[in-house]
Amino acid sequence: MKNEWIQTERLSLRPHGLLYLDSTHEYASDPDNTEYMVYLPNRTKQETEEFLRSVEDEWKSNDQRIFEYAILLDEKHIGAVSLTLDDGMKIGELGWIMHKSYQGKGYATEAAKAVVDFAMATDKFDIEKIIAHCDYRNTPSVKVMEKLGLSLESNEGTRVYKDSDSEFQDLMYSMVI
């Protein structure tokens, strides 16, 4: 999957990186946009830059396990989607974030499905299960997971957000391949 571009009906998925620093920081620093994101919002552009540098390093790695894509709509960067593989490369965890102006239009579902389809088509690893997590209050993400064919596996997890000591119920959805 190294440096692969993925094309869907409406979207282009490109390896994420510093090219998208300004647009990434716009959605990653917005508290409303990142309400249910564990490691966000970013407080400074430097935080966003450090994240994107680590993403670029991962794309260059010979042992790549994180595939973070920028989501482009008509060449405009509107969000990101990722697939993170476990050490055995058998379980892939999906994640996504969309700029709030582009939420509710099916883009997250389309991008996540394309990443799953592409990962399953490659012979570099043999994924047996796809998982995704979200806050129990994040109804839009639950809908994305269900549209992807994932089912609720556990509602017993918890999550703590950046700059918070409060715990919230975490839902884990999964699909066996």
Residue-wise DSSP of 5-57:
-EE-SSEEEEE-SGGGHHHHHHHHS-TTTTTT-TT---SSHHHHHHHHHHHHH
How confident is the model at residue 172, as a pLDDT?
97
**Contact call for residues 153 and 51 (beta carbons, < 8 A):** no
pLDDT tens figures, 90-107: 999 999 999 999 999 999
The whole-chain average pLDDT of the chain stands at: 94
Q: Spelled out in words, what is the top-level CATH class assigned to the domain 6-176?
A: alpha beta
Q: Provide the terminal-to-terminal Cα distance of the chain, rounded to the nearest Å.
A: 18
**Range of weakest confidence among 20-34, 63-77, 116-130:** 116-130
**Upper half-sphere CA count for residue 118 (Cβ side, 13 Å):** 22
Q: What is the pTM of this model?
A: 0.94
How confident is the model at residue 3, as a pLDDT?
52
How confident is the model at residue 123, as a pLDDT?
76
What six digits make up the tokens of 117?
């389809």
How confident is the model at residue 1, as a pLDDT?
47
How confident is the model at residue 89, as a pLDDT?
87
Mean pLDDT for 161-176 is: 92
Domain boundaries, the chain: 6-176
How many C-beta atoms lie closer than 10 Å to residue 39's C-beta? Answer: 11
